[in-house]
Amino acid sequence: MADRTAVPGPCRLVCESISKTFGGTVAVRDVSLSLAAGEVLALVGENGAGKSTLMNVIAGAVRPDSGQVLVDGTRLSHGPQAARGAGIAMVHQELSLFGNLTVAENVLLGAEPVTGPLIGERALRETAAKILDDLGIHLDPDAGVARLSPGQRQLVEIAKAVATQPKVLILDEPTSSLESTQVDVLHALVVRLARRGTGIVFVSHRMNELFRFCTKVAVLRGGELAEEGDLADYSHDRLISAMVGRDVSDLYPARTDAAGRTDPVLALREVSGHGLHDITLDVVPGRVTGIAGLEGHGQSAIAEVLAGVRAPTSGQVLVAGAPTRLNSPAKAIAAGVGYVPSDRRTAGLALALSVAENMALVGGAGIRGRFWFRPRRQAAAVREVAARLALRSSSTGQAVGELSGGNQQKVLFGRWLLRADLRVLVLDDPTRGVDVGAREEIFGLLRELTARGVAVVLVSTDIQELLGMADDIVVIYEGRITGTVPGGDATEERVLALAMGQEVPA
């Protein structure tokens, strides 16, 4: 529970009828909000509901068409620097750490202790160490940020925001790359800041965390403020209904029993390397093979080996029973293996190119043309898939970088739907930063694929997702398989226990 006993103080943050239109699309319409000192506000909504725009307006990164933002009663002028000066700190979902600098340098960037013009390196390191200690974050201040895990980077990013002693702290999906112990650290930190009177805006797609961290809730739908109130008055179901605007019975489609064919289409035999040890794994057509594990335990490496991004140092990869050297993504694609990487912005998409270009990238001669590029054939194929995905974009010619996270993920999906010869689809954390509605659609598509006989490998740090989707859950701990649990009768406790390296009697 967050600090619900705090007496609501004066309004830290007030948004007065904020509106913002991009091109022809209304992103935010006439939204008014207030946040008292010590309150933790859950800002929720589907992708494209206007959360990001509203947060960016508050943080000064986007200038609203009308309306204003007040901090402690003072009107905010435009610009990130003005917002920062007024006491607003934002932790973006896309991290803004600098990999060429150390942890300490990042935490105190722009606010380094100086004597005259010169930075005091010792003071810098000590101040940063103290801030990290205070927050319960155990990291070497001298460590290079480029070498940290995503979860550790997220914590550094949060420490950087807290170091400015903000009056208003905006956390955008702060837990998406955190392990459960790191989430505990964050929770303790949020409670402490709220007690000190910081107003906190918390954005997350994880229900449990919203209820754990927040005291108030504001629901955005289609750019407008749909509901707001005390979070205590809401149940999980009511909150999801409020976001979607309709009743949601079950996020996960029913399992269909397609266990008729059992010959694995893709298999690993005692594969080691890249942090993996003796991984033996069968990927069977028509089934969703879930791979569970806490962040950084090697599950992404398995996805990369299956997709040909990395070749194992020992062991075999079998394609339809035959040992194959899958040492490049091109070979994997030729073998019918598609891959949706976890970091879609840097590893999956060409952000500057259009939706159509991104989708057709691996579409093959049938779609792009054998020698001459066939724009009409490509456009027709892409339009069909875009419609099936319920892709929200102004046209298939729109640049992918302009889409929301969930829609970017759909484009990556669409890429493989365009390939008729797809036999295996490997997905690494496909729903990170994707809202409930789009999740539901993605899960539906995965079931459609398995019904077609495609084998799906789903790597995820979200155990709920694996419980809902996977036919088998393979659990990884420190690069080894600690157990395989049938999806139907798996429990969160059992998977978590295996993922934390505990021996569990079958």
Partner 1 sequence: MIGTTTRTALRAGIPLWLLVFIALIVLPVLSEPFRSANNANSLMASLAPLLLVSAGQAVVVLLGGIDLSVGGIVGLGTVLVATPAVPGWVAAVLALAVGVAAGLVNGLGVLAGVPALVMTLGMSGVLGGIGLLVLAEPGGQVSRGLLAVLTLQAYPVPLAFVVAVAALAVAWTAVSWTRWGRVVLATGHDPVAARRTGLPWRSATLRAYALSGLFSGMAGLAVVARTYSGDSLSGGSLILDSITVVLIAGIALTGGQGSVLTVLPAAAVLGLLQNLIVLSGLDSYYQYIVEAVVLVIAVALYEASGKRPAFLARGG
Q: How many residues in total does the chain contain?
A: 506
In angstroms, what is the minimal distance from the CB of 431 to partner 1?
A: 20
Taking the least distance from each CB to partner 1, the nearer of 143 and 248 is 143
Taking the least distance from each CB to partner 1, the nearer of 173 and 441 is 173
Radius of gyration in angstroms for the set of CA atoms belonging to the chain, rounded to a whole number: 24
117 is an interface residue for partner 1 by CB under 8 A = yes
- Contact letters for partner 1, residues 145-164 (x by CB under 8 A): xx------------------
The one segment of 66-74, 143-151, 172-180, 192-200 that binds partner 1 by CB under 8 A: 143-151
The one segment of 17-25, 107-115, 260-268, 321-329 that binds partner 1 by CB under 8 A: 107-115
Task: Judge whether 411 and 403 are in contact, CB under 8 Å.
Answer: yes
Taking the least distance from each CB to partner 1, the nearer of 242 and 301 is 301
In angstroms, what is the minimal distance from the CB of 170 to partner 1?
A: 12
CB-neighbour burial class of residue 137 (10 A; exposed 0-12, middle 13-18, buried 19+): buried
Q: Which residue's entry shows tokens 């484009």?
A: 411
Query: Buried b vs exposed e over 220-245: b needs ≥16 C-beta within 10 Å?
Result: bbebbbbbbeebeebeeeebbbbbbe
Taking the least distance from each CB to partner 1, the nearer of 41 and 59 is 59
In angstroms, what is the minimal distance from the CB of 105 to partner 1?
A: 6
112 is an interface residue for partner 1 by CB under 8 A = yes
CA dist 301 and 310 (Å) reads 8
Task: Judge whether 301 and 310 are in contact, CB under 8 Å.
Answer: yes
In angstroms, what is the minimal distance from the CB of 153 to partner 1?
A: 10
Residues 347-366 that bind partner 1 (CB under 8 A): 347
CB-neighbour burial class of residue 317 (10 A; exposed 0-12, middle 13-18, buried 19+): buried
In angstroms, what is the minimal distance from the CB of 461 to partner 1?
A: 17
96 is an interface residue for partner 1 by CB under 8 A = yes
Query: Buried b vs exposed e over 443-474: b needs ≥16 C-beta within 10 Å?
Result: bebbbebbeeebbbbbbbbbbebbbbbbbbbb
Taking the least distance from each CB to partner 1, the nearer of 24 and 117 is 117
124 is an interface residue for partner 1 by CB under 8 A = yes
Residue 16: C-alpha distances to residues 166, 225, 434 (Å): 21, 12, 28
In angstroms, what is the minimal distance from the CB of 293 to partner 1?
A: 20
Long-range CB contact pairs, 388-392, < 8 A, 24+: 388/417, 388/445, 389/413, 389/414, 389/417, 389/441, 389/445, 390/441, 391/355, 392/47, 392/48
Taking the least distance from each CB to partner 1, the nearer of 26 and 399 is 399
The one segment of 92-100, 130-138, 166-174, 262-270 that binds partner 1 by CB under 8 A: 92-100
Q: Which residue's entry shows tokens 């005259």?
A: 116
97 is an interface residue for partner 1 by CB under 8 A = yes
100 is an interface residue for partner 1 by CB under 8 A = yes
428: nearest Cα among 499, 341, 347: 341
Task: Judge whether 382 and 395 are in contact, CB under 8 Å.
Answer: no
In angstroms, what is the minimal distance from the CB of 90 to partner 1?
A: 9
149: nearest Cα among 182, 107, 190, 127: 182
> Could you tell me how many helices (H) and strands (E) the chain has, helices first?
17, 22
144 is an interface residue for partner 1 by CB under 8 A = yes
In angstroms, what is the minimal distance from the CB of 109 to partner 1?
A: 6
Taking the least distance from each CB to partner 1, the nearer of 114 and 330 is 114
Q: How are beta strands 40-44 and 216-221 bridged, if at all? A: parallel
Phi, psi of 27, deg, nearest 5: -90, -45
Taking the least distance from each CB to partner 1, the nearer of 61 and 497 is 61
Residue 103: C-alpha distances to residues 99, 106, 156, 463 (Å): 9, 5, 7, 30
Residues 188-207 that bind partner 1 (CB under 8 A): none
- Contact letters for partner 1, residues 42-61 (x by CB under 8 A): ------------------xx
In angstroms, what is the minimal distance from the CB of 472 to partner 1?
A: 30
399 is an interface residue for partner 1 by CB under 8 A = no
Taking the least distance from each CB to partner 1, the nearer of 73 and 116 is 116
Number of residues that bind partner 1 (CB under 8 A): 37
In angstroms, what is the minimal distance from the CB of 349 to partner 1?
A: 14
173 is an interface residue for partner 1 by CB under 8 A = no
Task: Judge whether 358 and 411 are in contact, CB under 8 Å.
Answer: yes
Residues forming the site for partner 1 (CB under 8 A):
60-61, 79-81, 83-84, 92, 95-102, 104-105, 109-110, 112, 114, 117-122, 124-125, 142, 144-146, 343, 346-347
